[in-house]
Amino acid sequence: MDRNGKIIIPPRFRWADFFYEGLAVVAEGTECNIPLDDYILEDCPHGYINKKGQYVIKPQFYHALEFRGGFAAVSRFTNFRAIVINRSGNIVGLEGLNYFLEPLANGYFCVKQEMQTRMVDGKGKMFALPQGLSYIKREPGWPNRCPAEDLIQVEDQSGRQGFVHFPLGTVVIKPSYDNVGQFSEGMAPVKVGDRWGAIDRSGNIVIEPQFSYVSSFHGGAAAAFVLGDSKLCGLIDRQGKWIVQPAFVQCSDGFDFGMAFFRASDQEGEKDGVIGPSGKWIIPLQSRDIELLGPDLFCVDRYPENVCKYLTIDGRLIKPE
Chunk the chain into consecutive blocks of 10 residues (it has 321) and report each block's average pLDDT, rounded to whole numbers: 88 88 88 54 84 95 85 80 87 69 75 79 82 87 80 95 93 96 96 97 97 95 90 95 94 89 85 84 79 79 76 80 75
Q: How far is CA 85 from CA 3, 66, 269, in A?
A: 31, 11, 46
pLDDT reported for residue 114: 67
pLDDT reported for residue 160: 97
How far is the C-alpha of 305 from the C-alpha of 303, rounded, in Å? 5
pLDDT reported for residue 98: 63
Torsion of CA 137, 140, 143, 145, to 10 degrees: 50
The sign of the CA dihedral 122, 125, 130, 135 is positive
Taking only Cα atoms into account, the Rg of the chain, rounded to an integer number of angstroms, comes to: 21
Neighbours of 157 (CB within 10 A): 9
pLDDT reported for residue 22: 94
pLDDT reported for residue 193: 95
Return all residues near 192 (Cβ < 8 A) that are at least 6 apart. Answer: 177, 178, 209
Choose among 146, 41, 48: nearest CA to 90.
Answer: 48
pLDDT reported for residue 291: 81
Choose among 102, 118, 207, 203: nearest CA to 154.
Answer: 118
pTM reported for the whole predicted model: 0.81
How far is the C-alpha of 8 from the C-alpha of 172, rounded, in Å? 49
pLDDT reported for residue 118: 85
How far is the C-alpha of 139 from the C-alpha of 260, rounded, in Å? 26
pLDDT reported for residue 63: 84
66 class by beta-carbon count within 10 Å (0-12 exposed, 13-18 middle, 19+ buried): middle
pLDDT reported for residue 40: 55
- Total H helices, total E strands in the chain: 0, 31
